[in-house]
Structure 1
Amino acid sequence: MVEGGVDTASDRPVYKQIADLLRSAIERGDLGPGERLPSETELMKRYGVAQGTVRQAVGLLRSEGVVVAEHGRGVFVRARPRLRRLAHDRFARRHREAGKSAYDAEAEAEKVTALVDSIRVYPDKAKDEIARRLGLRKGAKVLVRSRRYLSDGQPTETATSYIPWDLAKGTPMVETNPGPGGIYARIEESGHRLGRFAEEVTARMPTPDEVTALRLAPGSPVIGLVRTAYDVDDLAVEVCDTVMSAELYVLSYELPAT
């Protein structure tokens, strides 16, 4: 139920006031994820406004990613399942030893169904930045593994890994399915026991391709995360460039105080 009225004497445009009321109802839980908003006719009657004003209000909420319109059905509160990415735990060796990738472990903790699709695996020449991070010469051959991750059918992130070819060739890493525990388990099997991970996190607006791949609402930002994996001898063994839907993730870190 959406309560409250609009103040025609206010400096704030009426359509923004209506959007505020609807947004507040959603934030309170009066309108839950997946619930249908009142129809245009109902909102026009409730607030005594014209159809154009109602459409402006709903359009504002759509641009914010708060609601989604389904042709012929109406406008619905957008579901936003949030995944908690525990940076201090996601690469724990116990997950690999249990045959789980980092994403599988997160999905299990959040009680969602994980799926990986759009998988592409191929050799290529390393871009300059990737070569630098891996400590390779410019244009060195690397294995590229790109994929998209989904939780309960909702795309949440895309990731592209770059692995030195000399490390990846002749191993299951060149296959679409690298086996239990993912590529980090295979890297350790090759004799490179993992020692640390370094991550750089940025925020930005998505490219058109990212909007399509992640099914982003208009105006939704993404989190860019570039991770470099090092073995115990501090040799870089993988770089992973990840693009995450910002509204679907909580990044959780624990940092030592000493």
Structure 2
Amino acid sequence: MTATVAETSADSSIRRNSGVSLWRQISDRIRRLETDGQLDADGRLPPEFRLAEEFGVNRHTVRSAISHLVQEGVLRTEQGRGTFFRSRPRLAYPIGRRTRFSAGLEGQTSTLQTVLVDSATVPADTRVAEALGMAPQAHTVWLRTIGLADGEPVSTAESWFPADSLGGIADTFRRTGSITAALAALGVADYTRRSTVLTATHAGDDDLARLKLAPGAIVLATESVNVDPAGRPIQYSRTRFSADRIELTIENG
């Protein structure tokens, strides 16, 4: 039996005048149908009219939410059969002491690539300076990168490195295509993750463009600090992952 939307959460009501558009709220509720295990084996959505009745909105609003999820690749439509969740398993990305993009996704995709989008030498703002243990306004090298799995963008990141010791990180990354290889070439043979903060939020305009998402998509955001074997901070990063393509797993130890 197909589940009803009301079964997905004890707080499943749509909030008008909340500052969040109705179609976006509905798209979030639709996502929960799958994540809460409330669908039949074939992953079929309830009909539009039933969703509209349960949410107390018109069918056009429901249709807008479904349309955006189709554009995002979360749903697919079959003429005469209905709308279904795509059976696309998420990639498991481990976060532990030695978090690496390629190593973390190894064996789950055919190709992996990290692309350098932009770089600059910039003064450290308060948060960057605190994370890297340096004076505010000290010079850092900033990189913006996109992580690709089988040619599809799954993450976008901003990273800062101390310019006094790692000033050549941008040029070295262009040659190696890897943060780990670039650090090794600059004398940092190993590094570990000191801290990671994880949150979830709606995708912003930059996320939509860089990760090729539709409005209303959810991203997993991490804020992390890597340190060298002596415990000195060498990299501060803010990374955004597509929640429909990546699941983050926390490793102990």
TM-score (structure 1 length as normaliser): 0.65
For 1:187, the equivalent position in structure 2 comes to: 183
2: CA distance, partners of 1:158 / 1:222: 10
Amino acid in structure 1 at the alignment position of 2:238: D
Q: Does 1:87 align with 2:95?
A: yes
For 2:101, the equivalent position in structure 1 comes to: 103
2: CA distance, partners of 1:215 / 1:241: 18
For 1:152, the equivalent position in structure 2 comes to: 150
Contact 1:121 1:176 in 2 (8 A): no
Q: CA deviation at 1:31?
A: 6.2
Contact 2:98 2:192 in 1 (8 A): no
RMSD, aligned α-carbons: 3.9
2: CA distance, partners of 1:128 / 1:190: 26
Contact 2:219 2:243 in 1 (8 A): yes
Aligned residues: 212
SS at match of 1:116: strand
**Matching residue within 30, 36, 49 for 2:42:** 30
Alpha carbons of structure 1 residues 163 and 89: separation in structure 2 relative to 1, 3 Å: closer
* Alignment of structure 1 residues 112-191 onto 2, 5 Å: 112-117=110-115, 119-169=117-167, 171=168, 173-179=170-176, 182-191=178-187
Alpha carbons of structure 1 residues 208 and 195: separation in structure 2 relative to 1, 3 Å: closer
Q: Does 1:217 align with 2:214?
A: yes
Alpha carbons of structure 1 residues 108 and 254: separation in structure 2 relative to 1, 3 Å: closer
Amino acid in structure 2 at the alignment position of 1:222: V
1: CA distance, partners of 2:101 / 2:122: 25
For 1:49, the equivalent position in structure 2 comes to: none
Structure 1 residues 75-84 or 209-218, which shifts more? 75-84
For 1:61, the equivalent position in structure 2 comes to: 66
1:101-159 superposed Cα distances (whole Å, 9 cap, x missing partner)? x2222343212422334621221222221111111111111111111122223221101
Contact 1:121 1:146 in 2 (8 A): yes
For 1:252, the equivalent position in structure 2 comes to: 249
Contact 1:121 1:175 in 2 (8 A): no
Q: Could you tell me the percent identity over the aligned residues?
A: 22
TM-score (structure 2 length as normaliser): 0.66
Contact 2:93 2:105 in 1 (8 A): no
SS at match of 2:176: coil
2: CA distance, partners of 1:150 / 1:191: 26
1:153-188 superposed Cα distances (whole Å, 9 cap, x missing partner)? 32211011111111223x4543452427x2333334
Contact 2:172 2:182 in 1 (8 A): no
2: CA distance, partners of 1:154 / 1:189: 28
Q: Which runs of 5+ in 1 are unaligned?
A: 7-15, 45-52, 92-101
